[in-house]
Structure formats: structure tokens, C-alpha cells
Amino acid sequence: MYEPGLTSATMEQATVLSRKIADLFETSSITVDRPEVGHIRLNGRFLCELTSCFDELRGRFERQGFTPYVREEDGTESLNAAPVVLDPSPSRWTINLVLLLATILSLLWVGAAGETDGLPRLGELWRGLPYCFSLMVILGAHELGHYFAARYHKVPVSLPYFIPLPISLFGTLGAVILSKAPTTNRRALLDIGAAGPLAGLIFAIPLLIYGLSISPVQPLPPPGQGLLEGNSIVYALAKLAVKGQFLPNSTEDVLLSQVAWAGWVGLLVTGINLIPVGQLDGGRIAYALFGQNARKLYWPVLIAMVILSIATLTATWVVLLILLFFFGRLYEQPLDDVTPLDGRRRALAIASLLIFVLVFVPIPIRQV
């Protein structure tokens, strides 16, 4: 990243910028050091469709040492220039590879632990292959969905960072991809945000259905001697479709195979990611759909999480509540924040938020 420094912008710099883009933007007034020191604001109107000319506009600004961003204030669009040129550094893929291998070992450990008496030995880790393979397919599809959508929109991102957690029931905390620069507009933000959950579900639901088909129905364990995974709407319907009854009932439940457990974990991760706040996938989708109004969801979501934590006494939601309290206010704002979603993407955004309702698990794990 190149930064000239927070020195005051000059009217000469602003005039040069205005002249360089005269065929793209008709300037009516110029202010310097607004909205921040070193920034330049050009008021006027675009002479082209912003989505088609923004890349050209950005190139011309960058050659002058600035990055453009577009905002709407009081019903008026302004073209702003920040004194920075983004030059992302390459990813250190060795870190990604180490975390990937560690996560694979962690998933093998968790999968094998359910098939052995006591802690699995190194030679028994292969017994966790069905769980490891299934969940890696789901998580990998999720992260690669983000990655390829970002590459399509020319947004620099890191390779996926998988997060191992062998001391948990799941073996992982999922994975993350780090953005190295802002997205161009809200359409790109929506595509990148929605691509991950949708790609993951393409694999999670078939794996879940197959896993349920090879999972036996058996009597519930004695009170206090077993754990039950929670139902989401999709999960409950999948069990109804495969087993012909709503489970768990008063006496029976499905004993999940490794593949079914991976499918359930995939749905759980997708539901958490689609919470419509902050820089979660759902937060990106909400911002793409509602713009700045998405920030109004912060307190309602936090209050809902408080109620859910108290009502269910679930530690997962307490931890998530703390994280959202500190980081949920941070939304990814694209450079062009005025171009609305087209009709197809608006429908995709609404569908993605509805999927959140369908896959969210209010009580992930409870005792019998």
C-alpha cells in the first residue's frame, strides 16, 4: 500500500483530478481536506454509468496517487479521492498450507474419536476419514466460493485460512478469507458475500441427506448421559424426508453417521455466517441490500442474541454475543456505495437472508 501521508490536499491536485476525468464526471464544485485531511471532494454528476466506468476512473485517480470512492449525502452524489493507492502484498501460502494440514488432522481426530473407545491413537486416525472428507468439502466449497467471486470482481483476497480446534465437538472453527482491499460496489459485495454460503450448501445438503440415509434411528440414551444436536428448519425437514418422522421424538433420535454429522456442522456454520451483522457473510449481504441502513440491524441482532443466550443457556451464543458486541459494528463499505443492486441480485440477497432463517440452529447442542 502506498500512502503519500496525511498532508493537506491542494486545489491544484483537485483541479488536475477534475481535468483528468472530465469525460467521465462533470465537476460543479471542489473542496479539499474533506471529508478528511488529504481527501478531495468533487461534486457534480457522472457522464457514464458508474458500474461500467469505475475501473477506468480508478485507474486515472491512482496514476495521480489517489483512490476514488463515491458516497451519497443529502441526496447528492459526491466523488471523493483518498490519498492512498492500494497495492496488496502477496499471500504467504505456507501459512495457509500449515493451517489446512492441521485442520485435516483435527477433523480426523474428532471423526475417529467417535469410532474408538477412548482417545484415538495415531494409527486409528484413518477412521475419521468420512467426517474429515465431508466437512472439508463443505468448508472448502464455502471458502472457494468467496475466493473465486472475489477474483471475478478483481478484489484481492487471501487464500483460505482454516482454523483447527481438536478439543471441540467439531474439530474446527471453520475458515476465513481476508480482503486486502475494498470491493468496488455493492453488487460485488453481494456476490462475494453470498457465494460462500450458497456454494457450501450445494454440498452440505446432499451430504446431510446421504449421511442420514445411513444413520440408524435408535432409543434416546438415559437422561444426562447423551447429547442431542439441535434442529434447524432444513435439518428437521431432512430428517422427516429421509426417516419419515419428526426427530427427536419422546423416545428416539437419529444416531448420526460421520457424514451426517459433517452435514449438520456445515449447516450450523452456514447459519452463523449468515447472521446479518458486521463483516459476517450475512452482514455483507445486508449491507449490499440495504446500504447504510444495514447498520440499524446491529442492536436488534444483539438484543436477539442476548434473549437467545438467556433462553437457551447456550455458551456458543454467549461467545458470539461478545464477539458481535466488539466487532459487529464494522461493515465492509465498497468504494462505490451508491450503485444499487440490480433485480437479480436483490432477489439473491433476499433469498440468502431467508436461507439464514431456514438453517439457523437456535440450540446447537443440548443434553438429553
Q: In this structure, are 107 and 179 located in the same domain? A: yes
Q: In this structure, are 159 and 36 located in the same domain? A: no
Contacts of residue 72, defined as CB under 8 A and 6 or more positions apart, other chains included, come to: 78, 337, 338
Residue 53 lies in a domain: yes
Q: In this structure, are 272 and 348 located in the same domain? A: yes
- The yes-or-no verdict on residue 199 having pLDDT over 80 is yes
Q: What is the pLDDT of residue 306?
A: 92
Domain-terminating residue out of 61, 82, 103? 82
Q: What is the pLDDT of residue 333?
A: 92
Least confident of 189-193, 345-349, 350-354, 364-368: 364-368
Q: In this structure, are 67 and 97 located in the same domain? A: no
Range(s) of the domain holding residue 219: 93-367
Residues 31-55: tens digit of each pLDDT: 888 888 889 999 888 998 998 899 9
Domain-terminating residue out of 32, 47, 82? 82
Residue 343 lies in a domain: yes
Q: In this structure, are 58 and 126 located in the same domain? A: no
Residue 347 lies in a domain: yes
Residues 208-230: tens digit of each pLDDT: 999 999 999 999 888 777 788 98
Q: In this structure, are 154 and 300 located in the same domain? A: yes
pTM check: above 0.85: yes
Strand partners, 367: 227
Domains: count for the chain: 2
Distance, CA of 290 to CA of 349 (rounded, Å):
10
Averaged over 322-335, what is the pLDDT?
Answer: 89
- The yes-or-no verdict on residue 327 having pLDDT over 70 is yes
Q: What is the pLDDT of residue 4?
A: 43
- The yes-or-no verdict on residue 323 having pLDDT over 90 is no
Q: What is the pLDDT of residue 3?
A: 40
Residue 87 lies in a domain: no
Residue 49 lies in a domain: yes
Distance, CA of 217 to CA of 247 (rounded, Å):
9
Domain-terminating residue out of 59, 82, 105? 82
Distance, CA of 367 to CA of 364 (rounded, Å):
11
Q: In this structure, are 73 and 104 located in the same domain? A: no
Q: In this structure, are 327 and 271 located in the same domain? A: yes
Residues 232-252: tens digit of each pLDDT: 999 999 999 999 999 888 889
Residue 1 lies in a domain: no
**In terms of DSSP bridges, do strands 161-165 and 365-367 run parallel, antiparallel, or are they unpaired?**
unpaired
Q: In this structure, are 76 and 221 located in the same domain? A: no
- Report the mean per-residue pLDDT for the chain: 90
Q: In this structure, are 154 and 180 located in the same domain? A: yes
Q: In this structure, are 198 and 346 located in the same domain? A: yes
Q: In this structure, are 292 and 261 located in the same domain? A: yes
Residue 259 lies in a domain: yes
Q: The C-alpha cell of 199 is what?
A: 456454494
